[in-house]
Structure 1
Amino acid sequence: MIIYNVTANIDASIHDKWLAWIKEHIPQVLATGHFNEAKLTKVLVEEDMGGTTYSIQYRAKSREALENYYKNDAERLRADSLKLFADKVLAFRTELEVIDEYAVKFES
């Protein structure tokens, strides 16, 4: 499984507007059909540059699905953020491969 991770540092001047926007944006990314789920998380570290940092993790259905997202949807969806927030959002993207998953099983 592949996780497409977007880490974004949000300038305080647009924080609330961006947070409302990303909560609408994530369902749009999921609607492309390339991902199974997404998580929006706040990074709990104070940045030297200021602002607030978030991580959005999208679980891709497959490597091919992620490549199709890049080819067919990513540029259009990224343009929305640039148009609305310009240089007030600093984002970088990484791909993560899930090697194994573990969970605690509780017995009753």
Structure 2
Amino acid sequence: MFLYNVTHIVEDTVVDDWLLWMEKVHVPKIMATGKFITHKSWRIIDSPNEGSTYSNQFFFEELEQYVAYMETFAPEFELEIKERFGENVLSFTSIMQDVL
């Protein structure tokens, strides 16, 4: 099992709009790609960053699913965040593999 983690640092001035948009628009579009099994969203409580920090986690079985997602869908979705929220949201990603 693998995990595609997207961490978002969100300015407090847009956090309510961002959360609603993530719930109603962004995450459903990502899940509709069929590349991920399930999704979890977390608020990071002990983040040293200004604003609010969130982790969106997308689980998948094979690395090929992730590669296909990144090649086909990720650029468009990243652009949507940038166009909607600009510098108010900073995002970075990581990939993790279940080992135990």
Q: TM-score range by the shorter chain?
A: over 0.9
Q: 1:92 is matched with which residue?
A: 92
Residues 1:14 and 2:3 aligned together: no
Q: 2:46 is matched with which residue?
A: 45
Structure 1: distance between partners of 2:29 and 2:47: 29
Residues 1:5 and 2:8 aligned together: no
Structure 2: distance between partners of 1:50 and 1:69: 30
Larger Rg: 1
| Pairwise CA distance, 1:13 | 0.9
5+ residue gaps, structure 1: 101-108
Structure 2: distance between partners of 1:52 and 1:36: 26
Structure 2: distance between partners of 1:51 and 1:58: 23
TM-score, length basis structure 2: 0.94
5+ residue gaps, structure 2: none
Superposition pairs of residues 72-91 of structure 1, within 5 angstroms: 72-91=72-91
CA deviations on 1:37-79 (whole Å, 9 max, x unpaired) are 00010001143x4100000000023100000000100001111
Distance 1:2 1:46, change over 3 A: closer
Cα RMSD, aligned residues only: 1.0
The aligned length equals 99
Q: Percent identity?
A: 28
TM-score, length basis structure 1: 0.87
